[in-house]
Amino acid sequence: MIASIPFKARDLKLYKLYIGLFLLFLLLPLVVVVVFSFNDSLFPALPWQGFSWTWYFGDSQPKLGLLHDSRMLRSIVNSFWVACGVTVLSLLMATINALLFVRFEFKGKGLLYMLMQLPLVIPGVILGVSILVASSQLANGLEEAIGWDWPWLRPGLVLVVFGQASFISAICSLILIARYRRFDRSLEEAALNLGANNWVAFSTVTLPYLRPTMISAGIVSFLMSFENFNTTLMLVGSDSPLTITMYERLREGSTPVINAVSVCLMVFSATLALVYLGFRKDAQD
Interacting residues with other proteins between 177 and 216 (CB under 8 A): 178, 184-187, 189-197, 200-201, 204-205, 208-209
Q: Helix 124-146 vs helix 157-181: angle between axes, to the nearest 10 degrees?
A: 120
**3-class SS at 219?**
helix
User: CB-based burial of residue 70 (10 Å sphere; 0-12 exposed, 13-18 middle, 19+ buried)?
Assistant: exposed
Tell me if 285 contacts other proteins by CB under 8 A: yes
Between 54 and 188, CB nearer to other proteins: 188
Kindly tell me which residue out of 30, 42, 77, 275 binds other proteins, with binding defined by CB under 8 A.
30
| Segment 126 to 185, residues that bind other proteins, using CB under 8 A | 126-127, 129-135, 137, 162-163, 165-166, 169, 174, 178, 184-185
Q: Which stretch binds other proteins (CB under 8 A): 51-59, 63-71, 146-154, 270-278?
A: 270-278
Q: How far apart are CA 230 and CA 129, in angstroms?
A: 10
Tell me if 218 contacts other proteins by CB under 8 A: no
Interacting residues of 33 by C-beta distance below 8 A, sequence separation 6+: 259, 262, 263, 266
Tell me if 88 contacts other proteins by CB under 8 A: no
Q: Which stretch binds other proteins (CB under 8 A): 52-60, 61-69, 144-152, 230-238?
A: 230-238
Between 80 and 247, CB nearer to other proteins: 247
CB 261 within 8 A of CB 250: no
Between 22 and 81, CB nearer to other proteins: 22
